[in-house]
Structure 1
Amino acid sequence: MAGIRARRLNVPLRRMAVLCAAMLFLLLAHVTVVQVFGARELNADRRNERSLISRFARPRGDILTYDGATVARSRPAPGGGPYRFQRVYTDGELYAPVTGYLSLFDSAGVEEAEDAVLSGDDAKVKVRSMVSDGDAAGADIRLTVGVRTQWAAYHALQAAGVPGAVVAIDPATGAILALASYPSYDPNTLATFDATRLDATLARLRDAPARPLLNRALNQVYPPGGTFKLVTAAAALASGEYTPTARVNTVLRPPLPAPLAACGRSRPTLLRAFETSCDTAFAGIGLQLGQDILRDQAEAFGFGAGDLRVPLEATPSTYPQGMDRPRTALSAVGRDQDRATPLMIAMLSAAVANDGVLMRPYLVEEVSLPDGSLLGQAGPEPYRTTMTPERAHYLATMMATATRAGGPGAAVAIPGVEVAAKIAASGGEHALATAFAPAGAPEVAVGVVLEHPGPDAAVVAGVARAVLEAALA
């Protein structure tokens, strides 16, 4: 009898034990989910002081220019406190579009894109550094950007006095020789460990009408205007219906919804229409070819591609869909909804300069440990085949003709150096230039955009010339 009562008494205990076991299992499962799947979010939480202390517990790798100047480094943090090392930027405003910044709570630029390498968290960096000296230090990054060319690009923009951007590329490799955006900001102001001051600085920069935090070179798109005539001309040559000496019809039907610059002659050659940047001629070509052919050629240059990282992510340039005939005509002269980044504007010239082969742009030349041992080096690779070498030669000749004495691109000419260029400095809200030099043996291609320059639009040619001269010096 006593055994039966005992068994009855144990039933609630067993149920309670099962309930407690289930609750314990759920608790352990939740902890596992939080620790494993929520680790990234927890580490990024501004309240996680432990994660922040760990982030600044050891020095990150240096960021250097191609010629060896250190533009970002770590130093012992002043005044003690929980954070041991602080980031310091040399010529911060000059290099900010490239280096970005590392702050208590976020990062940008190369600091963000190459965080694992710079911090030493990358598996390859950890293994190699521990084998060499037993310390998992961050690796150094040498950029493709050179001091002289970057300086020329930024200060030419600054002298122009309006927001804008410059990108310079080595056509043969894709190496980015300069990447400048104006106005800029000083990353040192964001490297502070004073959270209140940091929040105030970020708020001021984000609310500034000139948007200094915006990397215009990679992440702002503009109507390409006359520079898009390179795309239209390439499509025309590829169609087999045009040669540089072919006559172009400039009588447009139906009438267009926006005024266009007319040609001085009724039926100029393609070469003459390009040299004088005749809108009605290129609109006529667009109408004859149709939007699908223009779009295919634009995509061959990289329009519409969402895979471009240098390693900073670049906003895609776009060519519109579903246009009627008037809009197709406007798109052929870089208007309507055509949009391009300054990087793309430089890529147009780089493709022409490299016999129609567009190399993938890149910013990081090599990665090495502090002891100098090399961990990785950039390998140039083709990104797009935009046209045949013969058609690229035709376009290069047309671009070089426009820069000769008396031509519309003469302001970008360099004494003793033949320059090939396409300038769009009238009839649009922005001024643009794309160019390469020397025309016969290209070493540098450049893209320039100036926002709302007004009557000073012609200075865009001077900005392009200054960057070309610096790169060739």
Structure 2
Amino acid sequence: MNQAIRRTWVAIVALLAIIMGATTYVQFFAADAINNDALNTSRKLDAANSSPRGTILAGGEAIAESVKNPEGSTYAYKRVYNDAKLYSGLTGYFSLDAGVTQLESSQNQTLMGSSDDQFFDRIANLFTGTEDQGANIELTIDPKIQKAAYDALPDDFKGSVVVLNPKTGEILAMVSKPSFDTNLLAVQSTSKAAANRAELSKNKNIRLYWNPAVQDRVSPGSTFKVLDLVAGMETGYFKLDGEYDNSLKWTPPGTSTPLGNFDGGNCSQQPDKASLRFIVAQSCNTPFGQAIQEIGQDKMKEVTERFGFNSKPDWLGLSPTAASVWPTDKMSPGNLASASIGQYDVQTTVLQMAMVSAGIANDGVLMKPQLIKQVTGSDLKVLQDFKAEKYSTVTTPQIANDVTELMRGPVQSGTARRAAVPGLDIAAKTGTAQIGTGTGKVNAWITGFAPADDPEVAIAVNVENITYDQSHGLTSTIMKNVLKAVFNK
């Protein structure tokens, strides 16, 4: 009898070992190949609608959740998106027709309960017969700031806003317009989802497959001068209280095409020498075109890459993402002058310009932007918790403080006066980047942070492809409205 029991026990242990081994192989070694197999796409979608997929939350409220369907439905659950237009670029969607995007895609295993962190839960479920459940993902997003940023963007324009906590890297808001209702693509009818996709695609400015704030790149215009200031101060060219040539026009060596200050702007009030404070406040161009010839392309590459240029922020869980660009090919003096004011081939995302302000705001230390605050299992056990991470040291505390002082000028007496909020100390830099030659269109920008002496938020705003008259004060007003919501002003 004892021998029979021993044999039975050995058989059970062997079976358990086989199960554990097979499960481990699938989960740890073959998972990527299986998940990326095109033949499994429809099966993944079916599986996601057949079990309770995890919830995505912002501020403790569900923004993407699985809701049980009535008895007799094709699928046991359906995916529902709340405040869908506010969060479409973050949650993405799970669609029978259009596939899976954004966090729904990058966090798919976690949301389905098949991540490595949930391995032992799945083993336990094998023996208890309990249905696997996905984990829940809480975002760093602040719903109040998210809504304020979305509402501040005009409905008739294409643009994005990103708000960061410069001390931690938490993304507090990330919105774009035009947006769309992700529920239209999550309907559980392939033909209906396809029809909805076709209808949405008629608006060429709607990005169904990516998040514009991390993927769309445009010239940053004069917001790029923040980086010029850092490089210029590090080389000793710029001094906080220095004076510099402010000719209305200046022609770079080797070219007959002059770089000019904005016609009719306040820069003409000091057409010879001007203080750096005045130059930054009024966003004069010619001093920066001259400065960069001394600073050099290589130094600018070094500085911009500390802030994140030429690297993709792939860690965010949003896909695809684009690397902001400081050109690496040798530039002529004329092209270098154009690059100094955020033109030529300089290209940035809105996230990137928020990172620029965040690095200055945090005394020269840029924290890694992050979107996920916490992951919890269905039993509320914490599987992953937010941990602030340093991205890089972008400059010295002294230079960061000097640049902050200069960035106060545009709000107090310069190009960003419309961003001013009574009782709030704000640092900011505007930008207006021309699109082509003779188009009359520009990309309008602002980036900055507040309070300037102890920053709680860093922000970047971009509105694309508008006329100069439309751009006048637009991004400053958007920033003002967001800051009023943040600080209850």
TM, length-normalised to structure 2: 0.84
Q: Are 1:444 and 1:472, in contact at CA under 8 Å, matched by a contact in 2?
A: no
* Alignment-derived partner of residue 31 in structure 1: none
Q: Are 1:165 and 1:217, in contact at CA under 8 Å, matched by a contact in 2?
A: yes
**C-alpha separation between the residues in 2 aligned to 1:440 and 1:91?**
35
Deviation at 1:136, TM superposition (A): 2.4
1:43-54 equivalent positions in 2, closer than 5 A? 44=39, 50-54=43-47
Judge which range, 358-367 or 372-381, deviates more.
372-381
Deviation at 1:309, TM superposition (A): 2.5
2:480 match: secondary structure: helix
Letter in 1 for 2:181: D
CA deviation string 1:215-268 (max 9, x = no partner): 211110010000000011110000023211222234443356465316432121
Q: Unaligned stretches of 5+ in structure 2?
A: 1-29, 436-441
1:241 match: secondary structure: coil
CA gap 1:120/1:281 in 2 versus in 1, 3 angstroms: same
1:344 correspondence with 2:345: no
Q: Of the candidates 421, 443, 456, which is equivalent to residue 470 of structure 2?
A: 456
* Alignment-derived partner of residue 460 in structure 2: 447
CA deviation string 1:402-434 (max 9, x = no partner): 211x32211111111100000124756110000
Compare CA radii of gyration and give the structure with the larger one: 1
1:91-170 equivalent positions in 2, closer than 5 A? 91-105=83-97, 106-128=99-121, 134-159=130-155, 161-170=156-165
Deviation at 1:128, TM superposition (A): 4.0
* Alignment-derived partner of residue 299 in structure 1: 305
* Alignment-derived partner of residue 20 in structure 1: none
* Alignment-derived partner of residue 334 in structure 1: 342
1:210-229 equivalent positions in 2, closer than 5 A? 210-213=205-208, 214-229=210-225
Letter in 1 for 2:217: V
Q: Are 1:126 and 1:136, in contact at CA under 8 Å, matched by a contact in 2?
A: no
**C-alpha separation between the residues in 2 aligned to 1:375 and 1:422?**
40
Identity rate, percent: 31
CA gap 1:199/1:326 in 2 versus in 1, 3 angstroms: same
CA gap 1:437/1:315 in 2 versus in 1, 3 angstroms: same
Q: Are 1:154 and 1:180, in contact at CA under 8 Å, matched by a contact in 2?
A: yes
1:432 match: secondary structure: strand
* Alignment-derived partner of residue 184 in structure 2: 189
**C-alpha separation between the residues in 2 aligned to 1:36 and 1:233?**
48
Q: Are 2:252 and 2:259, in contact at CA under 8 Å, matched by a contact in 1?
A: no
Q: Are 1:294 and 1:332, in contact at CA under 8 Å, matched by a contact in 2?
A: no
* Alignment-derived partner of residue 437 in structure 1: 450
* Alignment-derived partner of residue 426 in structure 2: 419
CA gap 1:196/1:427 in 2 versus in 1, 3 angstroms: closer
**C-alpha separation between the residues in 1 aligned to 2:377 and 2:256?**
60
RMSD value, Cα: 2.2
**C-alpha separation between the residues in 2 aligned to 1:197 and 1:470?**
38
1:271 correspondence with 2:277: yes
Deviation at 1:171, TM superposition (A): 0.2
**C-alpha separation between the residues in 1 aligned to 2:60 and 2:258?**
50
Deviation at 1:291, TM superposition (A): 1.3
How many positions carry a matched residue from both structures?
Answer: 434
* Alignment-derived partner of residue 315 in structure 1: 322
* Alignment-derived partner of residue 25 in structure 2: none
* Alignment-derived partner of residue 24 in structure 1: none
* Alignment-derived partner of residue 79 in structure 2: 87
Deviation at 1:300, TM superposition (A): 1.4
1:282 match: secondary structure: helix
Letter in 2 for 1:445: A
Q: Are 1:165 and 1:180, in contact at CA under 8 Å, matched by a contact in 2?
A: yes
**C-alpha separation between the residues in 2 aligned to 1:308 and 1:39?**
22
**C-alpha separation between the residues in 2 aligned to 1:164 and 1:468?**
17
